Each structure stands twice: as structure tokens, then as C-alpha cells.
Amino acid sequence: MTTTPELEEEEETAAPTPPTPPKRRITWQKLTILPAFLVAVLLATWLWFDQADLDAISENALSNGQVSKALWQQVQLTVISTFFVLIIAIPLGILLTRRAFRKATPVAMTFANMGQATPAIGLLALLVIWLGAGEKAALIGMVIYAVLPVLSNTIAGLKANDPTLLEAARGIGMSQLGVLKRVELPLAVPLILAGVRTALVLNVGTATLATFGGGGGLGVLITTGITTQRMPVLVLGSILTVSLALLVDWLASLAELLLRPRGLEVGT
């Protein structure tokens, strides 16, 4: 039996293609694998220390809450330095993409590259000579060292926006600030978040060097283990540093997925 074109059109209209279900942003693997690995590593480390025969020097280095104090100092240094990186690099990146300040972009990027090209320990030493030992010198060094990825990603994300979208937004009467807040920044969010994630991990690693400037942190355990030749102290400081870096990177990756605008996702 033959069908007429009118019947074919009715059949197509009656059976529309079902919409593609949106992809889940965060899978159970993303939520469980790395935390489970970190818990296993920390549990194995605790069991090893529970059975280890520590001498007086090792016990003195790890007693009286010194481990928790060093860990808390490491977290503080990372959070505070990253906060200052964000309030410096993102507004500066936005400013350097405006027409009036674009000529200053090469100069700003040169200084940012110099900050990260300088060895972290050398930069910290110069700041200690200038400002004296303490947390202040460590924080300034960490900010200088980690500002490049956030600044460069902010500039790259804003420059990558389609000019026709911006012209369309201005054409419907949006102000320059409105275009920035509602069009440019949302489109640049993925690249900006990637830079923030890189800066966080950099700051966790750089914070271990704060001990050389009197800033504390897990570097205290590492340097104590090296200078006293006590392997348990060195191992504990190293494992905690690596675990903290992995945990921070995992949390940043979750934030990167959650904060990404849904309109930029395929299939949503």
C-alpha cells in the first residue's frame, strides 16, 4: 500500500524525536574514586605510624599538635594567597581586555611571566630580605608566583568571545557593564576556572616553601625530617602535602563543573 505525502507528514508530526537527556555534570566515579584513594593512603599511613618505633627526636617533631598545626598553616596559606590572586588577577584581566588598556597587556603579562619564571625559593628569599621573615613574605611570594595562570586565562577567555555575540548584545540596548556581566564573563567562566584550579595546586606546592621564610606549613615537617634524617617525619610531611594537593585539585574540578554555565554544555 502506498502512502501519500500528507500521511507521511502526519506520521512525522505524530512521532517527534525525543529530546536528548541532559548529561550529568558530576558522576559517581568523580565523587568517589579520588576521595576513596586518599582515605586509603591516609589510613595506611596512620597504621604504619601506629606500629612504627619512633625515637625521641621523631616523637618530639610530631607531638603536641605540631602536625595539625602545620597542616592548618598550609591550608591557611593556600586559601589566603588564592583569594588575593583572584581579587588581583581577574579584575586586572578584565581591565586589560578593555579598549583603553589593551596596549598595557604585554607589559602586565611580562611581569606576570617574570613572577612565575623566577624560582619560588629565590623569590621567597628576596622577599624575606626585603620584608623580614614571617607569613607576610610567604603570602606575597605565593601570590606573585600564582597570578599568571588566572590572569592569562581571564584574558584568553574574554578575548575568545565571539564579537558578533557582543555586538548583538549591544544592539539590544545592553550597556558595556551589562555585556560584561551577562555575556562576556559567563562565556569566559570555563577558562577562568581552569586558571583558578591551576593556581590552587601551585599554591599548595609553594606553601611548603613558606617554612624557609618563617611562614610555617607542612614544609616544617619535611625540612625537619631532612635535617634530622628522620624518615617517618619526612614521609608524613610529604604524604600530607601530596594528599592536600590532590584534594584541592579534586574540589576545584568539582567547582569547575558546577559553576560552568549550562548553556555552554552540549546536550543541555
Q: How confident is the model at residue 5 (pLDDT cuts 50, 70, 90)?
A: low
> Of 80-84, 136-140, 181-185, where does the model show the most confidence?
80-84
Residue labelled with grid coordinates 619535611: 222
> Which residue intervals of the chain are DSSP H helices?
5-14, 28-51, 56-62, 66-96, 105-117, 120-131, 135-159, 163-171, 176-179, 185-207, 219-227, 231-259
Domain ranges of the chain: 67-262
- For 94-109, what is each residue's pLDDT tens digit? 999 988 888 898 998 8
One DSSP character per residue, 94-118 reads HHHTSGGGGGGHHHHHHHHHHHHHS
**Residue 264 reports pLDDT greater than 80:** no
Mean pLDDT of 177-187: 88
C-alpha cell at 63: 607531638
Mean pLDDT across the chain: 85
**Residue 9 reports pLDDT greater than 80:** no
**Residue 178 reports pLDDT greater than 60:** yes
What torsion, rounded to 10 degrees, do the Cα atoms 64, 133, 123, 67 define?
0
pLDDT of residue 41: 93
**Residue 205 reports pLDDT greater than 70:** yes
Mean pLDDT of 241-254: 93
**Residue 228 reports pLDDT greater than 80:** yes
Percentage of the chain beyond pLDDT 70 is 88
pLDDT of residue 84: 96
Q: How confident is the model at residue 245 (pLDDT cuts 50, 70, 90)?
A: very high
Residue labelled with grid coordinates 568523580: 30
Return the exposure string of 149-163: e unless at least 16 CB atoms fall within 10 Å of the residue's CB, then b: bbbbbbbbbbeebee
Q: How confident is the model at residue 195 (pLDDT cuts 50, 70, 90)?
A: very high
Mean pLDDT of 2-14: 51
pLDDT of residue 92: 94
Whole-number Å distance between alpha carbons of 63 and 65: 6
The CATH architecture assigned to 67-262 reads: Orthogonal Bundle (1.10)
Percentage of the chain beyond pLDDT 90 is 37
Higher pLDDT, 38 or 65: 38
Whole-number Å distance between alpha carbons of 221 and 236: 8
- For 116-150, what is each residue's pLDDT tens digit? 788 888 888 888 888 888 888 999 999 998 999 99
- For 11-45, what is each residue's pLDDT tens digit? 455 455 555 544 556 788 888 899 999 999 999 98
Q: Contact at 8 Å (CB) between 207 and 138? A: yes
Residue 118 backbone class (left: φ over 0; alpha: ψ -120 to 50; beta: rest): beta
Question: Which residues have CB under 8 Å from 70's CB, separation 6+?
Answer: 216, 217, 218, 220, 221, 237, 240
pTM: 0.82
Q: Which of 3-7, 59-63, 197-201 has the lowest mean pLDDT?
A: 3-7
Residue labelled with grid coordinates 586558571: 195
